[in-house]
Structure 1
Amino acid sequence: MDTFHFQYRHNQVYRSWCDLVCKDIATVMTPAQVPALPISFFKTHRVVTTDFEPPLYFESSGTTQTVNSRHWVKDPDIYRRSFTHAFEQFYGPVPEWCIIGLLPAYLERQHSSLVMMVDEMVKMSGHTAGGFYLYEHEKLANTLRQLEAARQKTLLIGVTFALLDFAETHPQQLEHTIVMETGGMKGRKREMTRAEVHEQLCTGFGVKQVHAEYGMTELLSQAYSKGEGRFYCPPWMKVLVRDEEDPLHVQTSGRGLLQIIDLANLYSVSFIATEDVGIVYEDGSFEVWGRLDHSDIRGCSLLVV
């Protein structure tokens, strides 16, 4: 609630939106009552809390026909702390891992929050075999074989279409490697359900579960799934659900459109109404089923259930 009042006072775009949808701000008493800014505002407005010149910004992927979102970042260290603490909460200390990124579509453009996260974790890991791979599948396959032989804990985090391509051309049996998809078909392959994607990856890599990361340009936090597409948030992130017919009707659990609270977004806006459809369970975990039909095509919009 302190974050809400801080952003209402110092974020002109958010304050204008709140004044339109809420008759009396003083009546807002719970997180579910806090007005959520539609995520599309990141495409059309400079969404910032306090006045500052940002040292960097993150930009969403898209097509030449779409307008990309921009997230202006006042303090990059908040993002570093957020993704580091969240990862370690679910997987343990970063230095224990060898981090490998298979993110060709993201490496080929600038201002990707995902690339920054993986790059920083590669540096924190300090493992000599860690790093990024574009389309060097043979080199990546050899690296994974060496890491497996050394029984090194490894994270292979990749965009979905690249992981599918790699699993098809270089199948392996991975025992000490976690395969984590970040979404992202980008029209490269036919539309597939998450279950189909994970079945192919499990077969190609010989793993029982495929992990997943849920994040987006407009956030500074990530949720993680260790299998079956069910995501869990770090303590400073929460997912609510709003009714498709009545966007002001928000609940802590149920089916509908996902609404995210990300307290790491201190200097943009922490309360965001996404265009993702899914379910939020009573324990706070959630699943993503897809995106509203009218939404722009984005990095993970073709990975639907």
Structure 2
Amino acid sequence: MKQPVKNTDLEKRIFAASSVNFTELAVELFHFQYRYNEVYRNYCNTINILPDTIDTIRKIPFLPIQFFKSHEIKTTFFEPAVIFESSGTTSAFNSRHFVKDIAVYRKSFTACFEKFYGQAKNKCILGLLPSYVERNNSSLVFMVEELIKQSDNNLSGFYLSDYDKLLRTILHNEILKQPTVLIGVTYALLDFAEKHSMQLRNTIIMETGGMKGRREEMTRQQVHIQLQNNLSASLIHSEYGMTELLSQAYSKGDGIFHCPPWMKVLIREEDDPFAIKTAHILQKKPMTGAINIIDLANIYSCSFIATADVGRLYSNESFEVLGRMDNSDIRGCSLMAL
């Protein structure tokens, strides 16, 4: 089978996606990945999916996210420009994302950030991601580092665990009314807020999740209440992304996330990996279950991923993340032996 070097035309159309043409692009991308992604094709064949029958989003099979721990998920043959890796206690069991073209990732997170927050150059971008910066293969660190580079503010940067310096920077920006975005891993934001109470008016606090074993696990609501109390912030923002994706969703408060036009969340039954719920579309009611994600930007990996997260999807396509599945080894993962 002759392998295309790149599908430049599809790349361009993906970032022009809308509710009007999303299904068309997703179906086209399914056929592209079925043809040129051996792992995904074998998975589809094993669960008896006939590619010619795929003409709607809900017929597309979603690859269990655990496959990223055991297989090289690639669409077309290529030497990766970068390999992003998830955090974990044992590197042998971490997810790996083989990225063919880092420009696609850069385009995705830049366009998404601008959609929700405007251009990074007009903001001071502060990163509080100590456990991530210690690694050299974090997709989150890459994204924040690029946003810092795009910023025109010379105080933008990573602050690791230097909370005193971070405090001085934030207070300086507050006095000047400089729009600031503090992007931090949850446990570090909690540590900082407990040490330095203040009143923020020009600073967006954005948590990315994760205690990394540093603190007792808390719900997102508990985290937000604590941060709001210590920082006198009206709302706490959130970023929802993962190593296996090239797109992110953002919440501007209350843990309600919104996707960019080239990303979509669906809900499946927790005990049936192949059953996509549709009730909310017909009844305009929220649905709860396991989260499936379509990430059209993941063109050279797999765009259709069954995650280990549980969520609630609303009729306007916003969603909440409620936690992890009790057994994160999603049914269907016995097929990883493919």
- Shared fold (TM-score greater than 0.5)? yes
TM-score by structure 1 length? Answer: 0.95
Paired residue for 1:100, among 112, 120, 126? Answer: 126
1:290 aligns with 2:316: no
Paired residue for 1:157, among 183, 201, 204? Answer: 183
1:77 aligns with 2:103: yes
Superposed, 1:223-262 pairs within 5 Å as: 223-252=249-278, 253=280, 254-262=287-295
Superposed, 1:176-187 pairs within 5 Å as: 176-187=202-213
Task: Name 1:167's counterpart in structure 2.
Answer: 193
The one-letter code sitting in structure 2 at the alignment partner of 1:249 is: A
On the 8 A contact 2:31/2:51 being kept in 1, the answer is: no
The one-letter code sitting in structure 1 at the alignment partner of 2:157 is: G
Higher helix proportion: 2
Task: Name 2:226's counterpart in structure 1.
Answer: 200
The one-letter code sitting in structure 2 at the alignment partner of 1:16 is: N
Equivalents in 2 of 1:175, 1:275: separation in Å?
A: 36
Secondary structure of the structure 2 residue equivalent to 1:251: coil
Equivalents in 1 of 2:197, 2:224: separation in Å?
A: 14
After TM superposition, what 4+ stretches of structure 1 lie above 6 angstroms from structure 2? none
Paired residue for 1:29, among 33, 55, 60? Answer: 55
Equivalents in 2 of 1:243, 1:103: separation in Å?
A: 34
Deviations 1:106-159 (CA, angstroms, capped at 9, x unpaired) = 001120000000000000012101000111000100111100011000000000
The one-letter code sitting in structure 2 at the alignment partner of 1:109 is: R
Equivalents in 2 of 1:198, 1:100: separation in Å?
A: 19
Task: Name 1:269's counterpart in structure 2.
Answer: 302
Secondary structure of the structure 2 residue equivalent to 1:187: coil
Deviations 1:161-187 (CA, angstroms, capped at 9, x unpaired) = 000000000111110000000001111
Equivalents in 1 of 2:277, 2:244: separation in Å?
A: 22
Task: Name 1:303's counterpart in structure 2.
Answer: none
Percent identity among equivalent residues? 57
Equivalents in 2 of 1:27, 1:147: separation in Å?
A: 56
Equivalents in 2 of 1:218, 1:120: separation in Å?
A: 19
Task: Name 2:114's counterpart in structure 1.
Answer: 88
1:120 to 1:293, Cα distance in 2 relative to 1, 3 A: same
Equivalents in 1 of 2:44, 2:119: separation in Å?
A: 40
Paired residue for 2:70, among 38, 44, 69? Answer: 44
- Aligned residue pairs, count: 296
Equivalents in 2 of 1:193, 1:66: separation in Å?
A: 29
Superposed, 1:53-64 pairs within 5 Å as: 53-64=79-90
Equivalents in 1 of 2:33, 2:142: separation in Å?
A: 26
Give the Å deviation of 1:27: 1.5
Equivalents in 1 of 2:57, 2:48: separation in Å?
A: 14
CA RMSD of aligned residues (A): 1.2
Give the Å deviation of 1:29: 1.4
TM-score by structure 2 length? Answer: 0.86
The one-letter code sitting in structure 1 at the alignment partner of 2:133 is: L
Superposed, 1:74-153 pairs within 5 Å as: 74-153=100-179
Moved more, 164-173 or 287-296: 287-296
Give the Å deviation of 1:66: 6.6
On the 8 A contact 1:22/1:35 being kept in 2, the answer is: no
Equivalents in 2 of 1:206, 1:31: separation in Å?
A: 43
1:210 aligns with 2:243: no
The one-letter code sitting in structure 1 at the alignment partner of 2:206 is: M
Give the Å deviation of 1:65: 7.9
On the 8 A contact 1:211/1:227 being kept in 2, the answer is: yes
The one-letter code sitting in structure 2 at the alignment partner of 1:294 is: N
The one-letter code sitting in structure 2 at the alignment partner of 1:161 is: Y
Give the Å deviation of 1:22: 3.4
Unmatched segments (≥5 aa) in structure 1:
297-305
Give the Å deviation of 1:24: 2.0
On the 8 A contact 2:122/2:152 being kept in 1, the answer is: no
Give the Å deviation of 1:293: 2.0
